[in-house]
Every structure is written in structure tokens, then in C-alpha cells.
Amino acid sequence: MLLSSESRPATPRAADPLVAFAEIRALVLPVQRHYVNQLAPPVANIAGYHAGWLDEFGENLADPAGKALRPVLAVLAARAVGAPETTAVRAAVVAEMIHDFSLLHDDVIDGDRQRRHRPAAWVVFGTHAAILAGDALLAAAVRLTAETDRSADRRAVRRLLATVRELVRGQTLDVTFENRESVTPDEYSDMAQGKTAALLSCACSLGPLLAGAPDAVTGELAAFGFQLGMAFQFADDLLGLWGDPAATGKPVLADVHRRKKSAPVLAALNSGGTDARRLAELYERPGALSDDEATEAADLIERCGGKEWAEARAARHTASALTHLHRVEGEAEPLEELAALVRHITHRDR
């Protein structure tokens, strides 16, 4: 496709991960749709709505939503070990299907009514539909992983199932935390390992496993994905509190108004002292917070060291991710793109 150089200045790919995102998304999406369409008809429609390419009536949407972080990671990690493109795409589809399975069930469990800026699947199609579509996607993802007759598949299947176990563990902790008076930052990290980091790690190792890459290389890419997942979680928590509303599209201090006990909040609440007690008071009090109270809460979180702590954790995991990435001996271009992706994720504004 020809692009006008006036309207779209050419940028080196590694410098702009959004270009890689768009390219990989265009590569993966048709294959993902192909496999989702093989599910039984109502399930395929529900999964297609949830994934973002269908509307609630089963009609195609012009501009499918979603930033496809896991497919991008999967494709770049597979390319980094020189895997064939078909293997890279297969890994990407599997990772995204597992992500979608997990989100479909989590939204039912958490009662979250919004997903990807639209009503959640269970709101549109019912709880039963979201549970069954999740089940079908989980089974389809494992089936796709076990599709060929190469022995490498078996290790990828085991990795995938260990990841599902972690996702369930993380979501179970998350639900448990809702009913507990206090949660330590370490417990929160443990939950994030299961809910977020495990799948990013899996996305980075599926391609290498399927391609039969050396264990040492696969291990470094898995560790890279894990650390990136943790950095992603802390960066996300910081954006929920101090993100620019113009960039995030969410109201100012959205997570304070929702009283979401994200990492900076938990660190602040666990810091002890007068400020922490006042913060706990604001978070436990029934009824909505005024804008002044929300601002006060955000200031308290910062004064209690919550922001600094979360920033330090994000930085530590980012550095660790890059350390593991630099140890990977593989293809230069995809490795550079992965490094650019780290910077994009940890310095993003939305």
C-alpha cells in the first residue's frame, strides 16, 4: 500500500511500536477470526463480539477494537527465535483466545458491565453465553496448540495449561481480596503475577516452544514476558490514578472515585501513620467522594509513598524485562521491536 509521505511521515519501525502493532494485528486477525468462526454458531458470534469484530447483531464492525498486546508479543517473540510465520501467528491466536476466555469469565465474575468501551458480552448475550463462549475459547486454544504432530506441541500445551492454572489462581485471589479488610502490596503482586504476568510470559514462550527453540532462549523470553507483565500492571495502576484524562479517556482520578485498591493505594494504606489512616477513612466510607476528597485521597496516596513505591516497582520490573531480553540470542529486528514495545508500555499515557 502506498502512503503519502506528506500526510504520514515515514518512521523507522523499531522507533514506533504502533506500526508493529498495526502490522501484526492485520496479520493475526484473519487467522483468529478463522478459528473463532469454527466454533458453534452462537458461540462464534459471542466470541466475535467480545473480541471486537462483530456488533451485537453479528454484523461486521468497520474498525475492530483492541490493541492486541498479547498477539504482538507472541509474534515478535516467535520471530526473535526465527520461527516460521505460521507458527508465530498460531502462537498469537492461541494467546489472544486464552486472553478472551479469561476476560469473558472475569467480567461475569466481577460483574463488570464494560469491556473495550462496549457493553460486556454477558450484558448483551447473558451470563450463560459468556461462560460457554469462554469454555469454548479455552478448548479451542488448546486444540490449536495441539494441532500438528510435532513433539514441540506437547510442551506448548503444558505451558498453556499451567498458564490457565495461574489465571484461575490470580482471579481467585482478586475475588478474595474484595472481601478482605487489608491486602499487602506483596499479596497484590502475587495476584498480578497470576492475572497479568503469567499470560504475557506464556505469549512470549508459545512461539519459541512450538518452534523448538533452545530451552535457554525460551526461558529468557518467558522471563522477559513475565517481568513486562508486572511492569505493565504497575504502569496501569499509576495511569488509573495520575493518568491524563485527555489521553486515557477516563475521568480524572477514576480509580479513586471507584475506590479501586490498586498497587499504589495498597502501599499507602499499609504505610502506617496519620495520612494512611485518613486515606483508609476515605476509602472505607460509604457514598461517593467529592472531587475535593478525591484530590485529597490522591495526595495522601502520594504522601504515603504509594506513587513512589509503584513507580519503583514498575521501573524494577522494566529493567528486569530488558535484562532478560538482552540475553536472548536471536533475530535483531524483532528483538529491537520488543525493546521498543517495553518503552511504549512503560511510558505510555493511556
Residues that bind a second copy (CB under 8 A): 39-40, 42-43, 105, 108-110, 127-129, 131-132, 134-136, 138-140, 142-143, 146, 149, 151, 153-154, 157-158, 161-162, 164-165, 167-169, 171-172, 175-176
Task: State the cell numbers at 290.
Answer: 467529592
Please state, in angstroms and rounded to a whole number, the distance separating the CA atoms of residues 201 and 219. Answer: 10
Residue 174 Cβ vs a second copy, minimum distance, rounded to whole Å: 9
With respect to a second copy, which residue has the nearer C-beta, 44 or 239? 44
For residue 273, give the DSSP letter.
S
Q: Which of 141/341 has CB closer to a second copy?
A: 141
Of residues 59 and 110, the one with the C-beta less far from a second copy: 110
C-beta of 93: minimal distance to a second copy in Å? 15
CB 81, min distance to a second copy, A: 22
Residue 51 C-beta: closest distance to a second copy, Å: 17
CB 240, min distance to a second copy, A: 22
Please provide the DSSP assignment of 14-46 as one string: GG-HHHHHHHHHHHHHHHHHHHHHTS-HHHHHH
- Residue type at 289? L
- 142 vs 217, which CB is nearer to a second copy? 142
Nearest CB to a second copy, comparing residues 43 and 77: 43
For 119, the 3-state DSSP assignment is: strand
CA 123 to chain centre: 22
Minimum distance from residue 50 beta carbon to a second copy (Å): 15
43 or 276: CB nearest a second copy: 43
Q: 279 phi and psi, to 5 degrees?
A: -65, -45
**Ramachandran assignment for 215, one of left (phi > 0), alpha (psi -120 to 50 degrees), beta (any other):** alpha
β-bridge partners, 115 = 118
Q: Which of 149/292 has CB closer to a second copy?
A: 149
Q: Which is nearer to a second copy, 112 or 299 (CB)?
A: 112
Least gap, CB of 130 to a second copy (angstroms) = 10
Nearest approach, Cβ of 162 to a second copy (angstroms)?
Answer: 8
Helix ranges restricted to H, 253-305? 254-257, 263-269, 274-284, 291-303
Of 116, 81, 13, 99, residue with least CA distance to 341: 13
Contact criterion met (CB below 8 Å) for 72 and 25: yes
Q: How far apart are alpha carbons 72 and 2 in whole angstroms?
A: 23
Task: Give, in order, the Cα–Cα distances in Å from 267 to each of 177, 311, 346.
Answer: 15, 11, 20
Cell of 191: 495476584
Q: Between 90 and 317, whose beta carbon lies closer to a second copy?
A: 90
Smallest separation, CB 43 to a second copy (Å): 6
Cell numbers describing residue 110: 466481577
